[in-house]
Structure formats: C-alpha cells, structure tokens
Amino acid sequence: GESVGLHLPTLSVQEGDNSIINCAYSNSASDYFIWYKQESGKGPQFIIDIRSNMDKRQGQRVTVLLNKTVKHLSLQIAATQPGDSAVYFCAENIRGGSEKLVFGKGTKLTVNP
C-alpha cells in the first residue's frame, strides 16, 4: 500500500558538517517525491523535489538522491547551519493518480553550533 517511512527519527550534526536524511517508500507506483522542512509551529516548507525518471537533483546546498531499485530517497544538506534545524519529511505522489501527497515520518535534525 502507500506508505513512506524514515529510517531515523532524530539526527544530530555539528555546524558545517554534511547531513544525510533518509526515507524509504513502499509504493512502486510513486513517481514524484518531495522533501519538506517543518520548523516548530510552522507549516511544511518545500525544499526540493525529484521525479522518478531522475536519480539525482541538486538545489542550493541540498541534493536529493532517488534509488528506485531499493525504493530509497535521501536528502543531503551541505555545510549544515543552525537554521537547518527542523523536522524533515519526505512525501510521495503518484502523478496522474491522486493529487494527495503521502508524508513519511519526520526526521528531526538538530545542528549543534
């Protein structure tokens, strides 16, 4: 069925380090994936997305990797900053199907100064 999950509920890194947040999905029909950042008391904020015809996409300081073989998604944040501290969610969608996004369990990233 549709489900997206995360391997680690928390991640703590030092400022300046690179962070890697992982996500596993189970619906092989999902073909569009998004990473959202959610700060305390705020709504999810779009970070980066990727379609299933790609295996890598880069943004500013962020990279998303998609491995369809093992249904795995990761978000890499370069030179992590204190402002990156938040909960990160991956979400999936089946294009051409339901419009809804299915969110996975969040990973709380804490950046230590």
Partner 1 sequence: AAGVIQSPRHLIKEKRETATLKCYPIPRHDTVYWYQQGPGQDPQFLISFYEKMQSDKGSIPDRFSAQQFSDYHSELNMSSLELGDSALYFCASSLREFRGPSGELFFGEGSRLTVL
Q: Looking at beta carbons only, is 36 or 80 nearer to partner 1?
A: 36
Residues that bind partner 1 (CB under 8 A): 32, 34, 36, 41-46, 49, 51, 89, 93, 95, 98-106
Q: Exposure of 24 by Cβ count < 10 A (0-12 exposed, 13-18 middle, 19+ buried)?
A: middle
Q: Token match 């990279």: residue?
A: 63
We find the least distance from the C-beta atom of residue 99 to partner 1, in angstroms, to be 6
14 or 58: CB nearest partner 1: 58
Nearer to partner 1 among residue 17 and residue 52 (C-beta)? 52
| Least distance in angstroms from the C-beta of 67 to partner 1 | 20
Q: How many whole angstroms from its chain centre is CA 105? A: 10
| Amino acid letter, residue 69 | T
